Amino acid sequence: MKKNNWIPVWIISMVLELIAIFAIIWGIIYQVEHKVPFGSIIVAIGCVLALVGGFLMSKVIVVLRKKGGEQSMAKYRKKKGTDTWHWCRNCKNSPREDYTERDSRPGSDLCNKCKGKERRSDCTA
């Protein structure tokens, strides 16, 4: 996933949550002042918006956890005869042929360029 693709989803979910809070409060006030069921409909709409906003926010949290943790889908490669492991395909030193590959992240000998790309969210796994 490219850098900051989650921001629009985060903004949408926050806007939905704010609208939901406003709708719930306004619906309750309207119902108390006018003593009609229309306020209950607004409260129900607010609750639905709150659920949708919460669902979107949960998706954002999943994306952020994946960005912050180990890249589970990454394949770690090192050229045969060397010790340095690469996982960013856009790293200029990542081996394209004659390499050893593994699924789990090695504990040492990680490529510094891949680490930098990962920190900048510029790593293509």
How far apart, in whole angstroms, are the C-alpha atoms of residue 85 and residue 87? 7
Cβ proximity of 93 and 113 under 8 Å: yes
In a shared domain, residues 92 and 108: yes
Q: Is 118 exposed, middle or buried (0-12, 13-18, 19+ CB in 10 A)?
A: buried
For residue 39, give every residue at least 6 positions away whose Cβ sits within 8 Å of its Cβ, in sequence order, or none.
Answer: 27, 28, 29, 30, 31, 32
Q: What average pLDDT score do residues 101-113 get?
A: 91
In a shared domain, residues 63 and 95: no
In a shared domain, residues 85 and 49: no
Q: What average pLDDT score do residues 79-105 get?
A: 93
Percent of the residues in the chain that have a pLDDT greater than 90, as a whole number:
28
pLDDT digits (tens, 9 = 90+) for 54-76: 777 777 666 665 655 544 468 99
Only one residue has tokens 């943790």, namely 69
Element (H, E) at 102: strand 99-102
pLDDT digits (tens, 9 = 90+) for 75-87: 999 999 999 999 9
Q: Is residue 1 part of a domain?
A: no
In a shared domain, residues 61 and 31: yes
Which domain does 64 fall in, by range?
7-68
Q: How many domains does the chain have?
A: 2
* Residue 1 pLDDT greater than 70, yes or no: no
In a shared domain, residues 14 and 58: yes
* Residue 104 pLDDT greater than 70, yes or no: yes
In a shared domain, residues 51 and 92: no
In a shared domain, residues 37 and 63: yes
In a shared domain, residues 111 and 87: yes
Q: What average pLDDT score do residues 10-16 get?
A: 78
Q: What pLDDT, on a 0 to 100 scale, did the predictor assign at position 66?
A: 60
pLDDT digits (tens, 9 = 90+) for 24-44: 888 888 888 887 777 788 888
pLDDT digits (tens, 9 = 90+) for 44-53: 888 888 888 7
Q: What pLDDT, on a 0 to 100 scale, did the predictor assign at position 91?
A: 94
Q: Which tokens hold the place of 40?
A: 């209950």
